[in-house]
Structure 1
Amino acid sequence: MKHTVKRGLGVACLLLAGPSLAADRPHYDPASNEQVKQLIQEVSQDSDWQPEQLNHLFSQAERRDDIIKLISKPAERVLTWAEYRRLFITDARIKAGHEFMAQHRDALNRAHEQYGVDPTVITAIIGVETFYGRHKGRHRVIDALSTLSFDYPPRSAFFRKQLVAYLELVKQEGLNPLLPMGSYAGAMGFPQFIPTSYQAYAVDFNGDGFRDIWTNPVDAIGSVAHYFEAHGWKKDAPVAVDAVLEGDGTKLENLRKNRFDMQDYSQVAAAGMTAKSASLTADTRVLPMALSLDDDQEQMMLGLHNFYVITRYNHSRLYAMAVNELAKALKASDQGASDQEAARDQG
């Protein structure tokens, strides 16, 4: 069973690869690349990889100039919360999320019971990351990580660590390292885990002996929930609450910055921001935020502990807000469907 599943992954990854890869791209042949040769020596000493296996692998890994361009391209500008929200909180994404929840209800409920993470939050993460698995990446992971490890000096140390972790995980899971696909930064599968996150948090949630985040949504569901539990998620606790601000917020230094320094609610209230309707104790840790809307308006929010946990998945306030808003929309959609079903049963 285990090997059958893995062969299935190989087929899926080949299908994701699309057209044949360009034959004229430079390869990372260790015979002509000292960085590759050194990495092979290190990895073969500390793992089950044999030098000749790694030599063969890296002679097929390709340097991708398009990946260098993608990761080097500066953002044209920072999106407002209104713009970011329009990208991710759409009718199509809510509808597809509702269908994903209905299809995987048992796994989502089991993850909630085992890890304490709400099914709508798990679904929202997968929805924001890959549109529920529709957009998992079009780059071979070995190419992306090799390119960024050996030819992107600004973050070569980080990506070298990810490359080593990738080699470890494909060896452990029995995968062909040339097949898995991912983002241009080497993020993989439904939840877009980087290799070190896969090693730490991926779980075999369907019990088939393989932690398959690429093609198995059940394993992806359990893995996302495990990630959040490991980062301190509080079961059934709110993520953020609406707030009001007196004055211009100058006493709150990071009000409009992408920072994550939590403060006691008493301090924030003294500086002019209070919860709109929620009752918070003086020592509740909060993250005060003023989020840009259209027409120079702002939405005032207080992020709570679970909001901070979401920012450990992606270090962006807007990302965490999108996950929270999508989760709320999914909860409303799910409740609406349940109410309609109950009404039909009564009728």
Structure 2
Amino acid sequence: MKNILAPALFVLAGLAAATPASAQADFGSCLSGLRAQAAAKGISGQAFDVATRGLTPDLTILDLMNNQPEFKTAIWDYLSALVDEERVQDGRTAMRQWGQALASAEARFGVDRHAIAGVWGVESNFGKDIGGRPLIQSLSTLVCYAPRRNDYFKGELMATLKIVQDGDINPANLRGSWAGAFGHTQFMPSTFQRLAVDGDGDGHRDVMTSVPDAVHSTANFLKKAGWVNGLPWGYEVRLPSNFNASLAGRKNKKPLATWAAMGVRRVDGRPLSGSYAAGIITPAGVNGPAFIVTKNFDAVYSYNAAESYGLAIALLGDRLKGLPGIQTAWPTDDPPLSRAQRRELQQLLTARGYDVGEPDGKIGAKTREAIKDVERRIGLEPRGRPGGKVLEALRG
């Protein structure tokens, strides 16, 4: 056991951020209290001690917890960065490379391979952005310093320690997001324990390094979440001018015939057809794009409990099928930017003397401060938003 856990200990100790003595003392006390709770979950004292010895908290995680993009970013900005041409092309390449694994996952669980790939693309950019934070460090920090969701993160920490103790995954590879999600499709540790499966036949469930394991596990998740084989997740619709906004909502499902009688049509004008029930979501209000959504959208939604997130997966899956993107314009006069356009924006900011770091398309604090300065100069409210008006001003 010591040999299994040692690589994780080395990684965690080497990457731990320096913290004030008082914070470290509090952290040590918190870990001591967790040791007995871990034992009650079947985690040996030796395993706990090796995994946490020398561990320090990463307090930068607390800021990340309070700035989740699914809940703070305008829907058009969120989707523009997640479902752009670059990701669609990357996804088609990934689906060709791993076509057999995706096809076998679809056959095994009855889940559309494009939906599986949609999760993969949104969660980790097809394995390119898996995340590099050591899980035990991240989750212990959240348990000890985020009381609002203490019980939740404690459960995830215990599940992570169990994964390490059981030898499911090389502990040196257990890195992920600030919240503890890991692997190609970003499973939380407790979800891994319940739903991860062996997809490549090697006897292990390794969603970190095995794409077949990751896509089969994701298909299993969606199936258990209620995915119905052959049912569409939904599609874009056109609402009548007198549509009652209070009827919108993922949970307010009605037979398609009922929506059709109200004047709802597909976005291309064709009538609704089908015998299933569906809801209608309007992520930017009734004056923006609207979508019929079925039980399969609910299954995708359950992966992260955010409609914007579920819509990103569904739309990316459609694009990977060769279907068009959103047809209705967003209700904004300042169009959103793709990742390529965001990189261009950063390059233009750098050329004008702003320090924004590497032009990677990720909008961090330095880029936002530079954008605010540009917004002030062109008469916009300084929000730090990477929009079309700022890009055009910089191009000019």
Over 3 Å counting, the alpha-carbon distance change for 1:77 and 1:126 in structure 2 is closer
- 1:292 maps to which of 274, 284, 288: 284
Q: Which has the higher contact order (CA 8 A, sep 6+)?
A: 1
Q: CA deviation at 1:19?
A: 12
Q: CA deviation at 1:137?
A: 0.8
1:117 paired to 2:111: yes
TM-score by length of 1: 0.80
Provide the residue aligned with 2:38 in structure 1: 43
Provide the residue aligned with 1:328 in structure 2: 318
Over 3 Å counting, the alpha-carbon distance change for 1:240 and 1:77 in structure 2 is closer
Measure the CA separation in 2 of the matches of 1:36 and 1:292. Answer: 44
1:182-210 per-position Cα deviation (integer Å, ceiling 9, x unaligned): 00000001000001110111111111111
- 1:210 maps to which of 200, 204, 212: 204
Q: What secondary structure does 1:192 align onto?
A: coil
Select between 67-76 and 200-209 the one with higher mean Cα deviation: 67-76
Over 3 Å counting, the alpha-carbon distance change for 1:172 and 1:56 in structure 2 is closer
Measure the CA separation in 1 of the matches of 2:97 and 2:83. Answer: 21
Over 3 Å counting, the alpha-carbon distance change for 1:26 and 1:99 in structure 2 is farther
Counterpart AA for 1:137: G
CA RMSD of aligned residues (A): 3.4
Provide the residue aligned with 1:277 in structure 2: 270
Identity, in percent, stands at 25
Measure the CA separation in 2 of the matches of 1:57 and 1:127. Answer: 31
- 2:179 maps to which of 185, 201, 207: 185
Over 3 Å counting, the alpha-carbon distance change for 1:31 and 1:40 in structure 2 is farther
CA contact (8 A) 1:173 1:210 kept: no
Measure the CA separation in 1 of the matches of 2:40 and 2:114. Answer: 44
Q: What secondary structure does 1:298 align onto?
A: coil
CA contact (8 A) 2:173 2:208 kept: no
Q: CA deviation at 1:59?
A: 2.4
Counterpart AA for 2:276: T
Measure the CA separation in 2 of the matches of 1:23 and 1:309. Answer: 38
- 1:162 maps to which of 152, 156, 166: 156
1:264-302 per-position Cα deviation (integer Å, ceiling 9, x unaligned): 235555666455535445x73212122439xx9411211
Measure the CA separation in 2 of the matches of 1:151 and 1:52. Answer: 24
Provide the residue aligned with 2:307 in structure 1: 317
Over 3 Å counting, the alpha-carbon distance change for 1:71 and 1:113 in structure 2 is same
CA contact (8 A) 1:130 1:192 kept: yes
Q: CA deviation at 1:40?
A: 1.3
Measure the CA separation in 2 of the matches of 1:76 and 1:230. Answer: 24
Select between 175-184 and 145-154 the one with higher mean Cα deviation: 175-184
Measure the CA separation in 2 of the matches of 1:75 and 1:23. Answer: 24
Q: CA deviation at 1:62?
A: 2.2
Where structure 2 has 5 or more consecutive residues not aligned to the other structure, the ranges are 324-396
Measure the CA separation in 1 of the matches of 2:314 and 2:70. Answer: 26
Over 3 Å counting, the alpha-carbon distance change for 1:312 and 1:56 in structure 2 is same
Measure the CA separation in 2 of the matches of 1:97 and 1:138. Answer: 22
Counterpart AA for 1:285: A
Q: CA deviation at 1:77?
A: 7.4
Provide the residue aligned with 1:83 in structure 2: 77
Select between 128-137 and 306-315 the one with higher mean Cα deviation: 306-315
1:228 paired to 2:222: yes
TM-score by length of 2: 0.71
Select between 30-39 and 79-88 the one with higher mean Cα deviation: 30-39
Measure the CA separation in 1 of the matches of 2:301 and 2:119. Answer: 11
Where structure 1 has 5 or more consecutive residues not aligned to the other structure, the ranges are 1-5, 334-347
- 1:66 maps to which of 60, 66, 75: 60
1:152 paired to 2:113: no
Provide the residue aligned with 2:102 in structure 1: 108
Over 3 Å counting, the alpha-carbon distance change for 1:150 and 1:31 in structure 2 is closer
Q: What secondary structure does 1:292 align onto?
A: coil
Measure the CA separation in 1 of the matches of 2:70 and 2:276. Answer: 37
Select between 197-206 and 28-37 the one with higher mean Cα deviation: 28-37
Provide the residue aligned with 1:307 in structure 2: 297
1:65-84 per-position Cα deviation (integer Å, ceiling 9, x unaligned): 11112112376974444323
Measure the CA separation in 2 of the matches of 1:112 and 1:104. Answer: 12
Over 3 Å counting, the alpha-carbon distance change for 1:23 and 1:125 in structure 2 is closer
